[in-house]
Amino acid sequence: QITLKESGPTLVKPTQTLTLTCTFSGFSLTNNAVGVGWIRQPPGGALEWLALIYWDNDMRYSPSLKSRLTITRDTLKNQVVLTMTDVDPVDTATYYCAHRPAGSGFDVWGQGTVVTVSS
Amino acid sequence: EIVMTQSPATLSVSPGETATLSCRASQSVSTNLAWYQHKPGQTPRLLIYGASTRATGIPARFSGGGSGTEFTLTISSLQSEDFAVYYCQHYRDWLGTFGQGTKVEIK
């Protein structure tokens, strides 16, 4: 059974760096063509894809946020970490991590973690 | 950058009727297209991948079609639990951009 769980701060001040961790189980991020992604949803807004990291350590980013995002993995700890620099109140959202198998969309999602950016 | 555009923004449908949702890509994504259902307070649920393949456990009343730049999600005989927001997402070139969503509401 695949599970994912997000963790990180609930409140971040503007201009700070946000670090979120996705801890997963039930699969290995070294399996061929498997990926883990981050997606967010602002209050009342749409889903927005942020970043993906794949089994071969290939990393992909949303073009609009690429300059502020870094995604990394720890295959021994079964974790994926997303950092977002220079946060702003518009980055207030529920942040999800999700599993992406080969040739598919995100089939299993974490429960999400709410992040508020405010001074 | 590929932009995904969904229409309409809101669709009002009576239970038992059929809903047809559209998704357009600004460039061809072949069949690298997924559909999700999202209800308030829940995590998004994968419905369709590969443009037309139902994910595990998804009822047959959900069907996807299209390729290239034009895609549709059809929900036949709408049930009460189907009223939700639906998103398309492309995953060409190992990316993951979503559309802005279509809300299916009770008429």
Residue A89 phi/psi, 5-degree rounding, is -55, -25
For A104, the closest chain B residue by CA position comes to: B49
Nearest to B34 by CA among B71, B78, B77: B71
Q: Does B36 touch chain A (CB under 8 A)?
A: yes
| Test mutation, A50, A69, A106, chain B, max B CBs within 10 A | A106
Q: Which residue of B has its CA nearest to A4?
A: B43
Q: Provide the phi-psi class of B82: left if phi over 0, else alpha when psi is between -120 and 50, else beta.
A: alpha
pLDDT of residue B95: 84
At B96 the pLDDT is 85
At residue A72, the pLDDT reads 97
For A57-104, the pLDDT digits (tens) are: 999 999 999 999 999 999 999 999 999 999 999 999 999 999 999 889
CB contact under 8 A, B94 and A35: yes
- Looking at residue A113, what is its pLDDT? 98
pLDDT digits (tens, 9 = 90+) for A14-54: 999 999 999 999 999 988 889 999 999 999 999 999 999 99
> What's the CA gap between B78 and B76, in Å, rounded?
6
pLDDT in tens, B3-50: 999 999 999 999 999 999 999 999 999 999 999 999 999 999 999 999
pLDDT at A2 over 90: yes
Mutate: best of B1, B49, B53, B90, partner A, most A CBs <10 A: B49
